[in-house]
A and B are shown apart, each in its own frame.
Chain A
Amino acid sequence: MVYLTRKAEFSASHYYHNPDFTPEENVRIFGKCNNPHGHGHNYTLEVTVKGAVDPKSGFVVDLKQLKEVMNREVLDAMDHRFLNKEVPEFANRIPTTENIAIAIWHRLAPKLKTAQLHRVRVYETPDLFVDFYGEA
């Protein structure tokens, strides 16, 4: 079993708001992130896949294909977007780093052919990141 990690970057805006909370609760829980006009981050995405090394190609996965899937499923949808308004997963779910990692996992997992998705890591800033391993 070999693990391979591919990195990508995207920039997006978001805000945190739960309509079930009062305005005061939203501010207390989400602080500055509750600004309804949004704010943005340069996100770094690391996708780690695992698999046996193909004896013919020497690859765990064709990086070209992995890059294409990441571009199509994630970057095209999220790069330079307002996540709350433009990405369907976040119509009713708060686009926290946790939920972004989970959404990216569910976008990528069914599209990967040879290798199996191991981990999705999303950095919101260099000092904050979330790992999701597909656990329930």
Chain B
Amino acid sequence: MKAHLTRRYMFSASHRLHSDQMSADENLATYGKCNNPYGHGHNYAVEITVSGQVDESTGMVCNLVDLDGFIHQHVLERYDHRNLNLLHEFTEDVPTTENLCIAIYKIVQRGFHKAHLEKVRIEETMMNSFEYAGE
């Protein structure tokens, strides 16, 4: 039988929302406080949802050790306590949580093959969250 498994991880990072395609005034109007040139930070919560047949012999969609290991190595190591703007995926794309969702989705989809990736959901703060399912 097919089940969906979701695991939640935390990381903290700084960023600045600023687009080179806009003037200084437009940036300020669009991003407000998030345009502060010195940046600011968040405690991000990221939920990775994978799906698959529940293995009869283990009772699992995938072994959490494998998922945790992959996410720690390829997602948390990359983003935790970093300035997102300095990472190559955000040299052109603005490090909004939308784009962060897409970046993490791509990392997991490319590298994790023990279960099917369904969705990445990120809470930037307790008040807002974002989801990307590869559409």
Contact = CB atoms under 8 A, between A and B. Distances in A.
A20 B8 CA distance: 31
Nearest to A95: B59
Nearest to B6: A129
Interface stretch (B17-25, B60-68, B81-89, B91-99): B60-68
B54 A99 contact: yes
Interface residues of B, number: 19
A29 B58 contact: yes
A98 B7 contact: no
A73 interface: no
A97 B9 CA distance: 18
Interface residues of A, number: 26
Contact of B4 (A31, A132, A136): A132
Given A98-B54, A126-B8, A131 B59 contact: no
A108 B2 CA distance: 18
Interface string B1-41: 11111111100000000000000000000000000000000
Interface of B: 1-9, 49, 54, 57-61, 63-65
- A-B pairs, 6 with minimum CB distance: A94-B59, A96-B59, A127-B8, A131-B4, A135-B2, A98-B54
14 contacts: A18-B58, A30-B58, A95-B59, A98-B3, A98-B59, A98-B61, A102-B1, A102-B54, A128-B6, A128-B7, A128-B8, A129-B6, A130-B61, A133-B4
Interface of A: 16, 18, 20-21, 29-31, 93-99, 101-102, 126-133, 135-136
